[in-house]
């Protein structure tokens, strides 16, 4: 449709019909079933109001969505199609690793490909919008939704967020490419949760966020901004308060920062019931006032609350809200539907044949297997890995994840979860004659009844399972212990104060060690866990996160050396939950570690190190890499100038390997304190044994900018340090001066 036709349509709509476009309902209000991702008990809508809504949430399936859409468009007074939206954050039916694991790939290319596949499968299933990328920066492993983020760093999150937008939408606005959501296989993305949701106090879900504007802009805003500049079609408000104002009613955040500063002119949707929740937040007397706060803040669509559908028209009729605001919102919604081509084809790419062809197809599985292998982080390896394929090495796989299909994250809803490949299924492709024993259940019996995670042993079964596992360990040369969090111990509402493995699994580990010290521990988790004891007992430890559909094959590929471990931590691993939040781009303080004269007057703790167990960017390979000193092409840079930094990296081991060479900068002195290190680039290089490669980074003045003492976004002259190495602990450094 041409713009003028949209304007004509808008002009023909009654106020009730316009408000209807601004309402999203859960699928179960229109049909049977559907994914419920929030409270639905308070929604009251007449059938007439339901027939006017603009968007549907939580249903997939080409046939079902076609039937819903056909009926809906037929009955709508202007035959305006529904926007069909769903949470596809790491794959639709072919499930990729959780986003936190995708962060560990340090590969925008792989992330973009996974988003492209997710979009193809989702649009084949009849969907128009996915509620992804989630770009909340997270430094707190206690928060359950850490799994949905790509980690603790603004630069990495920005690069991967842009990649997801390109993958979903098929174009890059920053590169001047036109948006083409009509094109088959492209889906509208939705940046979430705007903004700052990843820093709830105490890691407690939905908790208040206390943050300075400077830290918000330096650390938490960049990734949302980068994805908006890449052209992401939608943004979702966050549940949390920012400066004690819930985002969904935060006019400064939405109209000033998002729309004016960031130039976002797409559709802004609230999170689930977040408009009405301003009542319980305590800044709205009732749903009517909540509706007013939200529309004044510029929220276009009300996701599953009573506010807009019940009170928006009345607010306009009473002169409390200008109809202009309604028209602007509805025009953005109509434009998005038009960009998706829904007026010409309300079903977009929905096709049962396509579903059958694409869901978990060979090509998609191969990509999922490749990405999963690239996301695993090898934390420790004392000559244990890779495993031998020869029968001479007897291997026992023990643990509740040795043969477990629940290896996709808590925000994954594959049509057939049984399609996941277990470790057993993957390992048996590599070698026969191995033992597989469960040893214990994932959860302790008193744990986590959340979403049906509770498990219980049969009479006497617990001791029997343990005894069987110990026997298997006794008869093996090496044990691969397959342990992990339950998938329902993370995700929304999945905050934990205890971020250790379930105790029954730790008992299993300790009992196994008594009879066999050659332990490789594979850890499934959706957050950085407290793994100090696990890494002390095990001779090798590999983090596999929640690896998705092809997890078992990918794990076997890496364990047996058919793929090389290459993942690098996208989040610091704490020694203790008491250290959390812990992250690499922190500040020196006035008494950094090692300074301080008298005992007691030092930065840090008296009972724990301030260092993580493993730092951001860390990960081992099956080989060793040697770095040359950092070389700069000049030691002075002028404003608007650039400077080239380079290193030579050599594979000095006996096996091929892929290294993620990381560039960090430090602004030694600023008008406000500056982080001790800031990631400003990374490049993956694959080198054969003995092979060398040169890696260059171009350093631009824009990389040095920050919010100065006056909150101006500038660079300041002075001394800078350039670090290039294998993780954020690198000391391989050179210096230059920025001259103004």
Which residue in 192, 310, 337, 527 binds ligand GLC (CB under 6 A)? 192
Q: Does 130 bind ligand GLC (CB under 6 A)?
A: no
Minimum distance from residue 242 beta carbon to ligand GLC (Å)? 16
DSSP string, 513-574: HHH---EEEEEE-SS----HHHHHH-SEEEE--S--TTHHHHHHHHHTTSS------SSPBP
Binding to ligand GLC (CB under 6 A) within 472-511 occurs at 492
Minimum distance from residue 193 beta carbon to ligand GLC (Å)? 6
Binding to ligand GLC (CB under 6 A) within 69-128 occurs at 87
Contact 190, 236 (CB under 8 A): yes
Minimum distance from residue 238 beta carbon to ligand GLC (Å)? 8
CA distances from 629 to 243, 626, 682, 735 (A): 45, 10, 17, 12
Q: Does 406 bind ligand GLC (CB under 6 A)?
A: no
Q: Which two tokens stand for residue 553?
A: 């094959």
Q: Which residues neighbour 518 within 8 Å (Cβ) at sequence distance 6 or greater?
A: 384, 476, 477, 478, 479, 539
Q: Does 131 bind ligand GLC (CB under 6 A)?
A: yes
Burial 117-130 (b: 16+ CB within 10 A, else e): bbbbbbbbbbbbbb
Please identify, using beta-carbon distances, which residue of 167 and 491 lies nearer to ligand GLC.
491
Closest CA to 567 of 596, 585, 541, 591: 541
Minimum distance from residue 248 beta carbon to ligand GLC (Å)? 12
Please identify, using beta-carbon distances, which residue of 136 and 550 lies nearer to ligand GLC.
136
Closest CA to 265 of 333, 199, 317: 333
Extract long-range pairs of 715-718: CB within 8 Å, 24+ residues apart.
715/639, 716/667, 716/670, 716/671, 716/740, 718/667, 718/668, 718/669, 718/670
Please identify, using beta-carbon distances, which residue of 236 and 407 lies nearer to ligand GLC.
236
Q: Omega of the bond prior to 193 within 30 degrees of 0, cis?
A: yes
Minimum distance from residue 102 beta carbon to ligand GLC (Å)? 16
Q: Which residues neighbour 641 within 8 Å (Cβ) at sequence distance 6 or greater?
A: 701
Cα–Cα distance for residue pair 715/695, rounded to 1 Å: 25
Q: Does 530 bind ligand GLC (CB under 6 A)?
A: no
Please identify, using beta-carbon distances, which residue of 38 and 400 lies nearer to ligand GLC.
38
Please identify, using beta-carbon distances, which residue of 147 and 340 lies nearer to ligand GLC.
147
Q: Does 37 bind ligand GLC (CB under 6 A)?
A: yes
Q: Which two tokens stand for residue 360?
A: 């978990």
Minimum distance from residue 303 beta carbon to ligand GLC (Å)? 7
Q: Does 566 bind ligand GLC (CB under 6 A)?
A: no
**Active-site residue flag, 339:** no
Contact 273, 303 (CB under 8 A): yes
Please identify, using beta-carbon distances, which residue of 469 and 526 lies nearer to ligand GLC.
526
Burial 312-342 (b: 16+ CB within 10 A, else e): bbebbeeeebeeebbbebbbbbbbbbbbbbb
Contact 491, 381 (CB under 8 A): no
- Choose, from 87, 136, 271, 557, the residue flagged as catalytic: 271
Minimum distance from residue 290 beta carbon to ligand GLC (Å)? 17
- Residues, the chain: 740
Minimum distance from residue 272 beta carbon to ligand GLC (Å)? 4
Q: Which residues neighbour 729 within 8 Å (Cβ) at sequence distance 6 or greater?
A: 584, 615, 617, 618
Which residue in 116, 271, 276, 550 binds ligand GLC (CB under 6 A)? 271
Which residue in 20, 34, 38, 108 binds ligand GLC (CB under 6 A)? 38
Please identify, using beta-carbon distances, which residue of 250 and 513 lies nearer to ligand GLC.
250
Residue with tokens 């996941």: 420
- Total residues contacting ligand GLC (rule CB under 6 A)? 9
Indicate the DSSP class of residue 401. T
Residue with tokens 């996301």: 375
Q: Does 272 bind ligand GLC (CB under 6 A)?
A: yes
Q: Which residues bind ligand GLC (CB under 6 A)?
A: 37-38, 57, 87, 131, 192, 271-272, 492
Active site residues: 271
């Amino acid at each position: 449709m041409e713009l003028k036709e949209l304007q004509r349509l808008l002009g023909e709509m009654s106020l009730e019909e316009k408000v209807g476009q601004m309402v999203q309902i859960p699928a179960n209000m229109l049909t049977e079933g559907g994914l419920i991702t929030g409270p639905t008990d308070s929604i009251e809508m007449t059938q007439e109001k339901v027939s006017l809504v603009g968007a549907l949430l939580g249903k997939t399936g080409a046939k079902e969505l076609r039937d819903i859409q056909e009926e809906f468009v037929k009955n709508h007074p202007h035959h305006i199609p529904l926007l069909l939206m769903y949470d596809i954050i790491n794959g639709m039916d072919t499930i990729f690793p959780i986003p936190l694991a995708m962060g560990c790939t340090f590969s925008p290319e792989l992330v973009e490909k996974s988003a492209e596949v997710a979009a193809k499968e989702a649009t084949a299933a009849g969907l128009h919008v996915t509620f992804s990328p989630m770009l909340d920066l997270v430094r707190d492993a206690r928060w359950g939704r850490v799994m949905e983020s790509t980690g603790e760093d603004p630069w990495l999150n920005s690069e991967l967020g842009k990649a997801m937008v390109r993958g979903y939408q098929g174009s890059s606005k920053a590169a001047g490419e036109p948006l083409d959501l009509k094109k088959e296989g492209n889906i509208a993305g939705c940046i979430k949760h705007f903004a700052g949701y990843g820093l709830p106090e105490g890691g407690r879900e939905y908790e208040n966020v206390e943050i300075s504007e400077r830290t918000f802009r330096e650390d938490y805003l960049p990734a949302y901004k980068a994805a908006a500049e890449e052209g992401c079609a939608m943004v979702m408000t966050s549940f949390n308060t920012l400066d004690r104002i819930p985002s969904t009613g935060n006019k400064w955040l939405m109209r000033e920062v998002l729309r004016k500063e960031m130039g976002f002119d797409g559709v802004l949707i609230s999170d689930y019931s977040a408009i009405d929740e301003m009542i319980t937040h305590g800044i709205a007397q009732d749903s009517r006032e909540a509706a007013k706060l939200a529309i004044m803040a510029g929220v276009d669509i009300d996701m599953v609350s009573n506010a807009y559908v019940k009170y928006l028209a009345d607010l306009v009729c009473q002169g409390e809200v200008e109809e202009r605001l309604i028209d602007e919102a509805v025009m953005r919604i109509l434009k998005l539907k038009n960009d998706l081509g829904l007026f010409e084809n309300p079903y977009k790419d929905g096709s049962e044949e396509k579903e059958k062809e694409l869901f978990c197809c060979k090509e998609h599985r191969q990509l999922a297997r490749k990405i999963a292998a690239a996301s695993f982080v090898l934390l420790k390896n004392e000559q244990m890995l890779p495993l031998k394929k020869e029968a001479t090495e007897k291997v026992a796989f023990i643990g509740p994840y040795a043969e477990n299909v629940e290896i996709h994250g808590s925000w994954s809803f594959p049509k057939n979860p049984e399609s996941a490949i277990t470790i057993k299924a993957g390992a048996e492709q590599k070698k026969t004659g191995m033992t597989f024993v469960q040893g214990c259940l994932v959860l302790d019996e008193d744990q986590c009844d959340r979403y049906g995670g509770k498990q219980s042993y049969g009479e006497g079964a617990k001791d029997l399972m343990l005894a069987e596992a110990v026997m298997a360990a006794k008869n093996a040369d090496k044990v691969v212990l397959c342990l992990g969090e339950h998938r329902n111990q993370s995700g929304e509402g999945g905050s934990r104060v205890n971020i250790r493995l379930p105790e029954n699994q730790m008992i299993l580990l300790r009992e196994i060690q008594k009879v066999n010290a050659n332990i490789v521990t594979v850890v499934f988790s959706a957050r950085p866990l407290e793994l100090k004891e696990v890494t002390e007992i095990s001779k090798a430890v590999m983090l596999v996160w929640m690896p998705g559909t092809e997890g078992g094959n990918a794990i076997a590929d890496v364990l047996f050396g058919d793929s090389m471990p290459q993942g690098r931590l996208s989040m610091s691993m704490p020694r203790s939950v008491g250290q959390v939040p812990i992250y690499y781009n922190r500040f020196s303080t006035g008494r950094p570690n090692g300074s301080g004269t008298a005992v007691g007057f030092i930065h840090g703790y008296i009972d724990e190190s301030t260092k993580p167990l493993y730092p951001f960017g860390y990960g081992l390979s099956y080989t060793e890499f040697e770095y040359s000193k950092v070389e700069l092409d000049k030691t002075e840079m002028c404003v608007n100038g650039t400077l080239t930094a380079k290193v030579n990296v050599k594979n000095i081991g006996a096996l091929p390997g892929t290294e993620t060479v990381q560039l960090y900068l430090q602004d030694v002195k600023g008008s406000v304190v500056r982080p001790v290190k800031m990631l400003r680039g990374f490049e993956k290089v694959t080198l054969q044994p003995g092979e060398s490669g040169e890696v260059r980074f171009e350093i631009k003045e824009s990389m040095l900018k920050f919010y100065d003492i006056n909150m101006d976004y500038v660079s300041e002259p002075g001394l800078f340090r350039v670090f290039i190495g294998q993780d954020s602990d690198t000391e391989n450094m050179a210096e230059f001066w920025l001259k103004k």
